[in-house]
Amino acid sequence: MSHTERTTRTARFTVDPDFTVGPVDPRLFGSFVEHLGRCVYTGIHEPGHPTADEDGLRTDVLELVRELGVTAIRYPGGNFVSGYRWEDGTGPVGERPRRLDVAWRTTETNRFGLGEFIAFLRKVGPQAEPMMALNLGTRGIPEAMDLVEYANHPGGTELSDRRIAHGAKDPYGIRLWCLGNEMDGTWQTGQKTAEEYGRLAAQTARALRQIDPGLELVACGSSARGLPTFAAWEATVLAETYEVVDHVSLHAYYEEVDGDRDSFLASAVDMEAFIKEVVATCDHVGARLKSPKKLTLSFDEWNVWYQRRPNPHPVADWQEAPRLLEDVYTVTDAVVFGTLLITLLRHADRVAVACLAQLVNVIAPIMTEPGGPAWRQTTFFPFAQASRYGRGTVLDVRVDSPAYPTERYGDVPLLHATAVRGEDGGVTVFAVNRGRNAPLDLAVALRGLDLGRVVEHSVLADSDPEARNTLDEPERVVPHAGEGATLVDGTLRAVLEPMSWNVIRLL
């Protein structure tokens, strides 16, 4: 039966509270703010904007960030961090230096720095935790130690007193730190071999733990699963760092290539394999070291990103905050994005942190115009719903689904799904029908669960797979109510629209 036939078929799975993946770490719903394009300037920070507050933060963006439900926010990069002097973003704004950012060939004004970032997080809310990236490209151990002391020490030293003099009496209390960024990448300023990076990361980790043994540290994994050094890089780096770090990073981006939409819709197959392979490598190193410790993963860059598309906005070198990587997402992109969220949840036992890259304007769920409005992209909705309803314990979902053929991944199930049981005992099913033309019947057997009704069936789908939200039509795509979902005799039944993201809440 071909993928294009308009025939309804049935996918099934069973949920049982005795069979679980594990609890969801709230930091699974993190994001990423890099000094890249308009993520910071005219994104979250625009003094003079009609909605700007006393710190120059756009309150219209703050409201959307709160609605999105992001938790850990990684900063300040990304590729940007590998040439960054953290001191440049401290002290009186008028005295801060302008620098060339060689990562993105722009000029960095440093009007927004560490203090402004912490102020932004505090206004987002208590759920927003800083995740700081350290420059291990052009800098090293002393500068990393200095930053931790500046940010976290209460006072009485030159660096901590400098923070106090800069207006921050209380320490920032940053617990989560990235030991560099994509250090295997040829594009990275200060690229290193696995041996070089592993040694430096281990030395830096030990030095930081001398300041504060309670820090959480992330070692750089491979920049991409497709690199020739993938897995060998992790094995070499972790041989040095295994006992002194808590997490290893993964980065992955997906896009439709050469019109192969069926494979694009199956992108989560690659993400699932990536996670399993990194877990296997971590556990192999742990076994070699005879360590009882289990490393977890920090999937601190993930998204749909059309890297092969040319920038529609011509940009000259060394501009300030030019329009870069401003992808406008379709319904198709949002459905794929939803499968990536499902994948992260399905591996909640080993994925402790995940950061959607990025937060505003740059391959982002939130878009803004300088001096103008802010609006939600199509990808905003799956993330906000997953963050809101995906808290609790992930149930072990084994899908029995019809499949469809793809050029890249072979036969792939039409249904991609997971389920999360909340503290109130309710269950939320997250499900994607990858089928482009036909609806899919869903039957979920509920065992050992005292559930009586369907509270909501929310659907993100559209008759136009290219539909998107724009400045002119900011609400062209929004979730709508699904029809006909029932819970009878312990079985949930629903119909999933073609190429759709679905959230079904049960109580």
Could you tell me which residues come within 8 angstroms of residue 65 by beta carbon, excluding any fewer than 6 positions away? 44, 124, 359, 360, 366
b/e code 332-362 from CB counts within 10 Å (16+ = b): bbbbbbbbbbbbbbbbbbbbbbbbbbbbbbb
User: Counting Cβ atoms within 10 Å, is residue 138 exposed (0-12), middle (13-18) or buried (19+)?
Assistant: middle
Q: Which two tokens stand for residue 370?
A: 């300088």
CA distance 453 to 145: 54
Give the residue among 149, 177, 152, 151 at the shortest CA–CA distance from 241: 177
CA distance 70 to 359: 9
CA distance 433 to 482: 13
CA distance 72 to 355: 7
Catalytic residues: 182, 301
Which residue is it, tokens 């905050």?
321
Give the residue among 32, 138, 13, 12 at the shortest CA–CA distance from 356: 32
Residue 400 per-residue DSSP state: B
Could you tell me which residues come within 8 angstroms of residue 147 by beta carbon, excluding any fewer than 6 positions away? 86, 132, 134
Are 43 and 360 spatial neighbours (Cβ–Cβ below 8 Å)? yes
CA distances from 295 to 217, 240, 374, 392 (A): 11, 14, 39, 21
Give the SS3 label for residue 440: strand
Q: Which two tokens stand for residue 284?
A: 């192999």
Could you tell me which residues come within 8 angstroms of residue 127 by beta carbon, excluding any fewer than 6 positions away? 26, 69, 70, 71
**Bridge pairing between strands 296-304 and 247-254:** parallel
CA distances from 195 to 125, 285, 377 (A): 40, 15, 41
Q: Which two tokens stand for residue 417?
A: 């799904």
